A and B are shown apart, each in its own frame.
Chain A
Amino acid sequence: MGILEVKDVGKRFGGLQALSDVNLSVKENTCHAIIGPNGAGKSTLLNCLIGKLIPDSGSVMFDGQSVLGRAPHEINQMGISRVFQTPEIFGDLSVMENMMIPIFAKRDGNFELNAIGSVFGNKDVVEAAEAMLEEMNMADKRHMHAAAMSRGDKRRLEIGMCLSQQPRLLLLDEPTAGMARADTNNTIDLLREIKEERDITIAIIEHDMHVVFSLADRITVLAQGTPLVEDEPEKIKGNPKVREAYLGESA
């Protein structure tokens, strides 16, 4: 039994069957990659896991509990954090504040009327945020407006924000898109380190095969809304069906 169990999930947008009969089981403390051509339904699948979309059919279980019918903030509080395909950060706030908000959310829950103490009086939160910024190599940018950063930096910030919550399941939607090669490698190293040091399960969508093969323990190939194959990385590489799905898309 995996920590994440997706059973027979289907999702339709008007005339488009974006997902059909999706079954996916992610084992605890592994890294599971989901790959597939553009429009395969990868992001849609993640949306169904975090409460952004409600599937038309099927079930989604996290750690033995259903996530369907729960509000997004409740699902996060269960231990699922997500990095989006286009960075979702608090653009009007400073980098440091961006990093502190998820830590407050983890510490205080989904609502806390803490209106009199100063933000920076919460030493535990400040320290945790500073440590995470250090880990993401962003300590020098802490006073910057988050919106003013490069796309790659925004993405790293978002990854850091998710990691700072110490989620049990981390969902990454193309985390290295828009990053320079060096940053991509840093991110791979960081995720590897985290995977080894912490009890964390990672589900990652990625087009960059270098990233996929560096991190993944298992790979699911999604095409036209259905899983095509699921296997170990080595076996996926030589699978003719996979080549076809990709070559059919981008020649």
Chain B
Amino acid sequence: MFGLDRKDTRLLILVAILTMAAPFLLNPFPEGSAMAQFNAGYPDLMQRFVIFGIFAIGFNILFGLTGYLSFGHAAFLGVGSYAAIWMMKLLTMNVIPAIFMGVIFGGLFAVIVGYISLRRSGIYFSILTLAFAQMSFALAYSVLTPITGGETGLQPKTNDPRILDGTLADGATPKANIFGLEMSSSFELPLGSWLFTFNTGYYLAAFVMLASFYVAIRIFRSPFGMMLRAVKSNQQRMTYTGLNPRPYTLAAFVISGMYAGLAGGLMVAMDTQVGPERMFWTASGEVVLMTILGGVGTLIGPVLGAGAIKYMENIISKINSDILHTWFAFLPDGLEDLVVTLIYPFIGKGWHLTLGIIFMLVVIFLPGGLVEGGQRIAKLFSRKKADDNTSDVAKAPAE
């Protein structure tokens, strides 16, 4: 279906179901219950899941296929965001031009950075991209203040030109919308003690993510994708086979820059503001972590990695010592304090510590990332099944 083989079609449908049903799936705990803080089914976080998923899918097209590790991809995300916010200031609060321009500018900037950085490979390439990203950050932070709003960043103002929109009613503020339907509008569905929120912005971002995922599958399975893997495997053989690796890597770089720009544009569509910190090197590092955590070079890995990291960032960081005390209240007082003291460094602001430990464990024990973890579990089950009934259950090797 859709020009994909059966396995890929199944994967696409699975991802489609998961993203469409996310407001249910991510809210398994009733409102007000002790576990409710583990619910991730609120619009703000769900939007982040899919947007960073797009960012990581694109990053993986470069890093996963060609092996070129960029440490500056946040720059393209930032450029996409600035392009998007300018569309909202100059043209319209409709998010379509904003997102579109995010992609275009992310791609254009990637042409420049890629053209220069790809003259080197390995660590030198990584350092060049990092240098570009930090220069972009510095430019956005101070030098280009008239365009970027400097440290404070940009947001739509009531007195912006917005030539395609009519004048705002008195006292109204500009709101991001898609043909009038506001991004922030939600439909809330209370069911028993559960509350499910279906948000316009989330569904827009989710559809865009599905489309991006589909395009990524097509790229992975195409002759172009195969050439990118050839770049990673043996550039020497490639050149003596009559292929020029440079335009292949540049095309991969630009495509991944466009994905980053798309993510940046969507971020602005969801939350109409940009600041230079979006381009800071830690943001570039984060997408590397997401991709490695999920599984480099796999289709679904980057999405899983993005989800896992954003979940930890938003959920674990919200746990505080009071919450811990209520959880462990059943323990004798002294023991309760001890347990809370032991766990405390890993929660709240300490979530980075938890992330670091999980990341290390995954890299050491599951070099293929969460995807490899999933495959191992699936294998375990299929082996059990095969043992239970000695019929010829296909022990298909996980790919």
Interface size class, chain B: 20 to 34
Which of A91, A109, A116, A118 has the most chain B CB within a 10 Å cutoff?
A: A118
Asked if A40 CB lies within 8 Å of chain B CBs, one says no
Question: Which chain A residues lie closer than 8 Å to B229 at the CB level?
Answer: 90, 92-93, 97
Given A100-B226, A111-B248, check contact A89 B234 (CB 8 Å).
yes
Quick check: B230 and A101 within 8 Å, CB to CB? yes
Question: Can you name 12 A-B residue pairings with CB atoms under 8 Å?
Answer: A71-B239, A76-B240, A91-B234, A110-B243, A111-B247, A114-B222, A114-B223, A114-B224, A115-B219, A115-B225, A118-B5, A118-B221
Partner of B223, one of A52, A104, A109: A104
Chain B facing A: main interface SS = helix
Q: Are B244 and A110 in contact (CB under 8 A)?
A: yes
Is A244's CB within 8 Å of the partner chain B?
A: no
What is the distance, in angstroms, from B395's C-beta to the closest C-beta of chain A? 16
Instruction: Tell me the bound Cα distance from A154 to B234 in angstroms.
Output: 14
User: How many A-B pairs with Cβ below 8 Å?
Assistant: 105
Q: Which residues of A in the span 61-83 have a Cβ within 8 Å of any Cβ on B?
A: 71-73, 76-77, 81-82
B241 on the interface (CB 8 Å rule)? yes
Q: Please, how many angstroms separate the alpha-carbon atoms of A180 and B309 in the complex?
A: 52
Is the beta-carbon distance between A122 and B239 smaller than 8 angstroms?
A: no
**In the complex, chain B residues 114-148 whose Cβ is within 8 Å of any chain A Cβ:** none
Q: Is B237 within 8 A of A89, CB to CB?
A: yes
Contact with B along A8-51 (1 / 0, CB 8 A): 00000000000000000000000000000000000000000010
- B233-A91 in contact (CB<8A): yes
Q: Are B242 and A118 in contact (CB under 8 A)?
A: no
How far, in angstroms, from A59 to B354 measured CA to CA in the complex? 63
A220 CB–B CB distance under 8 Å: no
Report B-chain residues with C-beta under 8 Å of the C-beta of A71.
239, 244
Main secondary structure of the interface of A (DSSP, over half): loop
Q: Using Cβ atoms and an 8 Å threshold, which residues of chain A touch B248?
A: 111
Chain A residues with Cβ under 8 A from B341's Cβ? none
Residue of B nearest to A79 (CB): B242
Closest 7 CB pairs of A and B: A76-B242, A115-B224, A92-B233, A90-B233, A110-B244, A105-B242, A111-B247
In the complex formed, the residue of B with least CB distance to A125 is B223
Size category of the binding interface on chain A: 35 or more
Q: Does B332 contact A (CB under 8 A)?
A: no
State whether A116 touches B222 (Cβ < 8 A).
yes
Q: A88-B237, A93-B233 are in contact. Are A111 and B243 (CB under 8 A)?
A: yes
- Cβ-based interface call for A207 (8 A): no
Verify if B282 is at the interface (C-beta below 8 Å from A): no
Residues in B with CB closer than 8 Å to A1 are none
CB nearest to B255 among chain A residues:
A115
Question: Min CB distance, A116 to chain B, in Å?
Answer: 5
| CB of A161 within 8 Å of the partner chain | yes
> What's the nearest-Cβ distance from chain A to residue B87, in Å?
27
**Beyond A92-B232, A105-B243, 15 extra complex contacts between A and B, CB < 8 Å:** A73-B240, A81-B240, A82-B240, A90-B229, A90-B230, A90-B237, A101-B241, A102-B241, A109-B242, A112-B224, A113-B224, A114-B222, A115-B224, A118-B218, A165-B241
